[in-house]
């Protein structure tokens, strides 16, 4: 029977099974189950694997097969910055995160490279896997993109999976930070550039006991003016929340 996989896909399936599923104690049946799982991971026809092994009396139902882990040390990305993956072998993950604020929109995550085949997986709140993700991009090269017009606030996890060996692949994450709505009740905000740092200032009335960035230990003891200085230039915005719950977002200058 000709399953029309070709040499490359067959090699990838067995290499993926070897790297992620096979163990020294594997039996014929559990090894076949590993190839079946690898085919499913790589979006290859799983039924072909079952049929092929059945012809030689081997079942793909044997053994417990765990999915390949995407757990790895994540590199934190700043808005609009890139990180480079120097190399990764087939089946290897590289992990990244980016924190998106409440007023962030148009989150875009891309990979770019001319060597090998990198696939992109993205998930909010926890690391993605080959079967659990909010977005995936799996073309036949290393140029992938995932976009979210209205991303939820929080930590977005990015997994770059080497479908085949890759080198010199850049990973970029960016979002647009929307201006906060005009303050109400006579409260005004401003930001001042101090060179390597910046200062956020809130003026008005009723500011006493307001807190910066929802941190109770970083509160204001003045009723008419509150300021936060020494803010790192990598920080795009800070928030100030009044005791009545009103929140004002101050963008860096």
Look at the chain and count its residues.
Answer: 253
Amino acid 71: pLDDT: 65
For residue 17, is it left (φ>0), alpha (ψ between -120 and 50) or beta? alpha
Q: b vs e for 12-21, b when ≥16 Cβ sit within 10 Å of the residue's Cβ?
A: bbbbbbbebb
Amino acid 58: pLDDT: 75
As its CATH architecture, domain 74-177 has Sandwich (2.60)
**DSSP letter, residue 213:** T
How far is the C-alpha of 187 from the C-alpha of 248, rounded, in Å? 9
Q: 135-137 and 93-100: which strand pairing?
A: unpaired
CA dihedral 19, 22, 23, 25 (to 10 degrees): -160
| CA-closest candidate to residue 187, choices 200, 203, 199, 201 | 203
Amino acid 1: pLDDT: 47
For the chain, give every residue range classified as CATH 1.10.390.
6-54
Q: Could you tell me how many helices (H) and strands (E) the chain has, helices first?
A: 3, 15
For the chain, give every residue range classified as CATH 2.60.120.380.
74-177
Amino acid 217: pLDDT: 86
Q: Which residues, in sequence order, are bridge partners of residue 100?
A: 154
Instruction: Name the class of domain 6-54.
Output: mainly alpha
Largest Cα–Cα distance of the chain, in whole Å? 82
pLDDT in tens, 190-247: 999 998 899 999 998 888 888 999 888 888 888 889 999 999 988 989 999 988 888 9
Low-confidence ranges of the chain (pLDDT < 50): 1, 183-184
| CA-closest candidate to residue 1, choices 61, 48, 36 | 48
Amino acid 66: pLDDT: 52
Amino acid 187: pLDDT: 86
């Amino acid at each position: 029977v000709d399953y029309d996989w070709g040499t490359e896909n067959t090699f990838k399936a067995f290499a993926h099974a070897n790297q992620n599923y096979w163990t020294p104690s594997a039996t014929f049946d559990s090894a076949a189950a590993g190839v079946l799982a690898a085919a499913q991971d790589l979006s290859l026809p799983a039924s072909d694997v079952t049929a092929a092994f059945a012809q030689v009396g081997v079942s793909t139902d044997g053994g417990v097969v765990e999915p390949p882990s995407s757990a790895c040390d994540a590199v934190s990305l700043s808005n609009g910055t890139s990180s480079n993956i120097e190399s990764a072998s087939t089946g290897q993950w590289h992990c990244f995160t980016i924190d998106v604020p409440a007023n962030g929109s148009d989150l875009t995550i891309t990979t770019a490279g001319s060597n090998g085949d990198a696939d992109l997986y993205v998930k909010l709140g926890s690391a993605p896997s080959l079967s659990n993700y909010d977005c995936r991009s799996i073309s036949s090269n290393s140029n992938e993109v995932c976009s979210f017009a209205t991303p939820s606030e929080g930590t977005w996890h990015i997994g770059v999976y080497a479908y085949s060996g890759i080198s010199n692949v850049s990973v970029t994450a960016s979002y647009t930070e929307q201006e906060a709505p005009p303050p109400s009740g006579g409260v005004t905000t401003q930001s001042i550039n101090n060179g390597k740092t910046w200062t956020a200032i809130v003026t008005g009335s009723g500011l006493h006991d307001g807190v910066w960035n929802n941190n109770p230990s970083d509160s204001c003891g003045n009723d008419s003016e509150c300021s936060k200085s020494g803010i790192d230039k990598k920080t795009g915005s800070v928030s100030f929340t009044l005791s009545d719950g009103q929140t004002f977002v101050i963008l860096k200058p």
